[in-house]
C-alpha cells in the first residue's frame, strides 16, 4: 500500500519533476564537486556590505540535488566565512510539489530557487503574502549585471521578485569536429546551410544518418521535442510571435506554429535524416534524451540538437573540444537562424525569497552578485554558467560553457526563456510533452497535435 501511495504522489508531482528535469539550469559533471578548497583564503572586502550575520541561519530550498548540490553549498562558503551566517541547504526532486504545500501550511523556506518563470508567476498569484519582493540591493544588482530579458523573467506585474541564478542555453547543435574536418563540412551559419549540410551528409554517408534525437525522460518524456519546436518557432515566426504564443495571446494551434511544427517534422520525422545509430523515426520517442548523442563520436550520426548541459552526458572517453585533431571529440554550434535576428532559447532558475529578515536579503544580494557567480564557477568543474555579466569567463572550465556565456551576454542575441516552462503546468508540463511524444511515437499529424494541446489549455 505504501508503494501505491508513493506512486500516487509521484504521479501528482510528475509534472513538477519533469519541469525540474527539463529546466533546472545549473548542470554539473558526474564527478561530484571538483575543486572546492580554493575558497579557503577569501578576500572578505566585498562582503562587508552584508554586515555581521553571526549565528544567523538562512534556509534554502531547491530542486538541485546531489551531486550538483555539493557545488551549490561549496559556492556559499565565502559568504559563510565572511559574514558568519549559516546556509541550511535542502534539495529535493519533489520541489515543485512540496513548495506550495509548505507555503500553504505556513512553513516556507527563506529562499527557494524557482526553476520556471511560470511557476514564479503562479506562486506570486497564489501566495501574495508569502513571496517577498526583492530588496533594493538586489534590484540594483539585477539591473547592473543582467540583461533586461533576464530581469523581466523575474518580474511579476512590474515588481521584481526574483533574480536569475544559473542559466543554460538550449539552441545548440552538437557535432564531431573531427568528422566535420574529415569530410570537409563546415559549421552552418544559416538555416539553409544546415539543411544543405543535412542533405549532403545523408548522401555521403548511407551507413549513418545526419541527425540523432531522443525524447525519453521518464515522467517528463517529450520535453526535448518541445525545445525543438520552440527553437524553430523563434526562428520562423520571431520572438514577438513566440511571446504571444507562450502567453496564449494567440492560440496554441495558430497557423504559424503549425508551419513551424512542419519544419521540425521535416527533420525529426524524415526517415532519411533520423535516427542515426539508433533506429527509425519512432525510436526517437523511446531513446533516452541523455544518451541520444552517443552515436556522434561513433560516426553513426552527425548532428544532435541539445542544450549546453548535455555535456555532462557524454561518455568518459569523449572530450568536449573544438579541436578537430581530438579523437572522439565533440563540440556544439549555435542552431542557425532563418533571418537576421539571432534568437537564443535557454533556461535558468530564479532566487525567490519568502522572508525579509536582513540576513535573507543579504544572501539574496550575494546570489545576484558577480562574487557568487565567480565562487560558483570556481567550484564547478563543467556544465554551469550564469547570465551574470560580472562573471569572469576565464573561470569557466569547459569551452562550451564559455561559448554559452558569450552568447548569453552578447546583446545581438535575443534571449527567450524556454516556453514550456512559462506555460501553465497542464500544458507546459503535461499536454505539450505528451502530444509531442504522440506526434513522433504514433505519427500523429501536426494539426491534431497542436489542436490537442490547445484543448488542454486551462481556461
Partner 1 sequence: MTALPPPAPLTEQVADEPLRAERRLSRAEKRAIAVKGKLSSPWASGIAIVIAVLWTIPTFGLLVTSFRPKEDIRATGWWTVWQDPTFTLENYQEALFGSSTSLATYFVNSVVITIPAVVIPISIALLAAYAFAWIDFRGRNLLFVAVFALQVVPIQVTLIPLLTQYVDWGLAGSFWTIWLSHSIFALPLAIFLLHNFMKDIPPSLVEAARVDGAGHVKIFFQVLLPLLTPAIASFAIFQFLWVWNDLLVALTFAGGTPNVAPLTVRVAELSGTRGSAWELLSAGAFIMTVVPLVVFLALQRYFVRGLLAGSVKG
Q: Residue numbers of the site for partner 1 (CB under 8 A)?
A: 1-3, 5-6, 8-9, 17, 20-21, 24, 27-28, 30, 32-33, 61, 63-70, 73, 88, 90-94, 98, 101-102, 104-107, 217-218, 220, 288, 290-291, 309, 312-313, 315
Choose between 81 and 94: whose C-beta lies nearer to partner 1: 94
Shortest approach of partner 1 to residue 161 CB, angstroms?
23
- Adjacent-strand bridge partners of 183: none
C-alpha cell at 456: 488542454
- Distance CA(179)–CA(325), nearest Å, equals 10
Closest CA to 391 of 144, 33, 77, 74: 144
Which CB atom, from 39 or from 63, has the smaller least distance to partner 1? 63
CB of 30 to partner 1, least distance (A): 7
Task: Give the shortest CB-349-to-partner 1 separation in angstroms.
Answer: 11
Cell numbers for 13: 508531482
Q: Is the Cβ of residue 46 or residue 288 nearer to partner 1 in the bound state?
A: 288
Are residues 211 and 295 in contact, defined by beta-carbon separation less than 8 angstroms?
no
Q: Using CA atoms, how far apart are residues 268 and 212, in angstroms rounded to an integer?
A: 9
Please tell me the distance from the alpha carbon of residue 156 to that of residue 410, in angstroms, as a whole number: 25
Report the candidate in 273, 365, 379 with the shortest Cα–Cα distance to residue 28: 379
Nearer to partner 1, 44 or 88 (CB): 88
| Nearer residue to partner 1 within complex by CB, 91 or 149 | 91
d(CA 389, CA 165): 12
List beta partners, residue 112: 61, 352
**Residue 176 backbone dihedrals phi, psi, to 5 degrees:** -105, 110
Nearer to partner 1, 25 or 396 (CB): 25
Beta carbon nearer to partner 1, 73 or 270: 73
Question: With respect to partner 1, which residue has the nearer C-beta, 21 or 234?
Answer: 21
* DSSP string covering 275-344: -TTT-STTHHHHSBTTTTTTHHHHTSEEEEE--GGGGGGS-TT-EE-S-TTSTTEEEEEE--BSSSSEEE
Q: How far is the CB of 336 from partner 1 (least distance, A)?
A: 26
How far apart are CB 139 and partner 1 at their closest, in Å? Answer: 29
* Residue 265 beta carbon to partner 1: minimum distance, rounded to whole angstroms: 26
Give the β-pairing of 329-334 and 172-175.
antiparallel
CB of 57 to partner 1, least distance (A): 11
For residue 376, CA distances in Å to 119, 391, 444 come to: 25, 10, 44
CB 301 to partner 1: min, Å? 16
Name which of 155 and 221 has its Cβ closer to partner 1. 221
C-alpha cell at 244: 504571444
Pairing of strands 209-211, 301-305: parallel
CB of 35 to partner 1, least distance (A): 14
Q: Which residue, 187 or 300, has its beta carbon nearer to partner 1?
A: 300
HEC readout, 13-65: HHHHHHHHHHHCCCCCCCCCCCCCHHHCCCCHHHHHHHCCCCCCEEEEEECCC
By beta-carbon proximity to partner 1, the closer residue of 123 and 450 is 123
All cell numbers assigned to 46: 566585498
Least separation in angstroms between residue 211's CB and partner 1 is 21
Query: Longest C-alpha distance within the chain, in Å?
Result: 67
Which three cell numbers, joined as nine digits, stand for 321?
A: 573540444
Least distance from C-beta 120 to partner 1, angstroms?
19
| Rounded Cα–Cα distance for residues 303 and 274 (Å) | 10
Which three three-digit cell numbers place residue 165? 541564478
Amino acid at each position: 500500500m505504501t508503494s501505491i501511495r508513493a506512486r500516487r504522489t509521484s504521479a501528482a508531482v510528475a509534472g513538477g519533476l519533469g519541469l525540474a528535469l527539463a529546466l533546472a539550469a545549473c548542470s554539473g559533471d558526474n564527478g561530484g564537486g571538483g575543486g572546492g578548497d580554493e575558497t579557503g583564503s577569501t578576500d572578505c572586502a566585498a562582503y562587508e556590505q552584508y554586515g555581521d550575520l553571526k549565528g544567523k541561519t538562512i534556509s534554502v530550498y531547491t530542486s538541485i540535488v546531489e551531486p550538483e548540490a555539493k557545488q551549490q553549498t561549496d559556492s556559499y562558503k565565502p559568504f559563510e566565512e565572511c559574514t558568519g551566517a549559516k546556509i541550511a541547504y535542502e534539495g529535493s526532486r519533489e520541489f515543485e510539489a512540496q513548495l506550495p504545500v509548505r507555503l500553504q501550511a505556513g512553513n516556507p523556506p527563506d529562499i527557494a530557487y524557482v526553476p520556471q518563470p511560470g511557476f514564479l508567476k503562479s506562486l506570486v498569484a497564489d501566495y501574495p503574502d508569502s513571496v517577498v519582493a526583492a530588496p533594493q540591493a538586489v534590484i540594483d544588482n539585477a539591473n547592473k549585471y543582467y540583461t533586461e530579458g533576464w530581469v523581466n523573467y523575474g518580474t511579476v506585474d512590474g515588481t521584481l521578485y526574483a533574480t536569475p541564478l544559473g542559466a543554460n542555453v538550449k539552441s545548440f547543435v552538437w557535432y564531431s569536429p573531427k568528422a566535420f574536418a574529415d569530410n570537409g563540412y563546415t559549421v552552418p551559419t544559416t538555416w539553409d546551410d544546415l539543411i544543405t549540410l543535412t542533405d549532403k551528409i545523408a548522401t555521403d554517408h548511407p551507413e549513418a544518418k545526419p541527425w540523432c534525437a531522443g525524447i525519453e525522460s521518464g515522467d517528463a518524456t517529450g520535453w526535448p521535442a518541445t525545445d525543438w519546436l520552440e527553437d524553430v518557432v523563434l526562428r520562423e515566426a520571431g520572438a514577438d510571435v513566440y511571446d504571444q504564443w507562450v502567453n496564449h495571446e494567440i492560440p496554441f494551434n495558430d497557423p504559424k506554429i503549425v508551419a513551424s511544427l512542419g519544419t521540425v517534422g521535416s527533420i525529426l520525422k524524415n526517415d532519411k535524416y533520423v535516427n542515426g545509430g539508433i533506429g527509425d523515426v519512432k525510436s526517437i520517442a523511446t531513446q533516452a534524451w541523455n544518451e541520444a548523442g552517443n552515436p556522434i563520436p561513433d560516426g553513426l550520426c552527425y548532428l544532435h540538437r541539445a542544450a549546453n548541459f548535455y555535456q555532462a552526458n557524454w561518455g568518459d572517453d569523449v572530450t568536449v573540444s573544438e579541436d578537430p585533431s581530438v579523437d572522439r571529440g565533440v563540440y556544439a554550434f549555435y542552431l542557425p537562424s532563418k533571418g537576421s535576428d539571432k534568437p537564443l532559447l535557454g533556461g535558468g532558475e530564479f532566487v525567490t525569497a519568502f522572508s525579509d529578515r536582513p540576513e535573507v536579503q543579504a544572501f539574496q544580494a550575494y546570489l545576484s552578485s558577480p562574487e557568487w557567480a565567480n565562487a560558483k564557477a570556481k567550484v564547478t568543474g563543467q556544465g554551469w554558467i550564469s547570465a551574470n555579466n560580472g562573471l569572469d569567463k576565464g573561470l569557466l572550465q569547459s569551452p562550451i560553457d564559455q561559448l554559452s556565456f558569450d552568447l548569453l551576454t552578447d546583446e545581438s542575441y535575443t534571449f527567450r526563456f524556454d516556453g514550456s516552462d512559462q506555460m501553465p503546468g497542464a500544458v507546459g508540463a503535461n499536454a505539450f510533452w505528451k502530444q509531442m511524444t504522440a506526434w513522433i511515437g504514433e505519427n500523429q499529424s501536426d494539426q491534431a497535435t497542436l489542436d490537442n494541446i490547445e484543448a488542454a489549455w486551462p481556461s
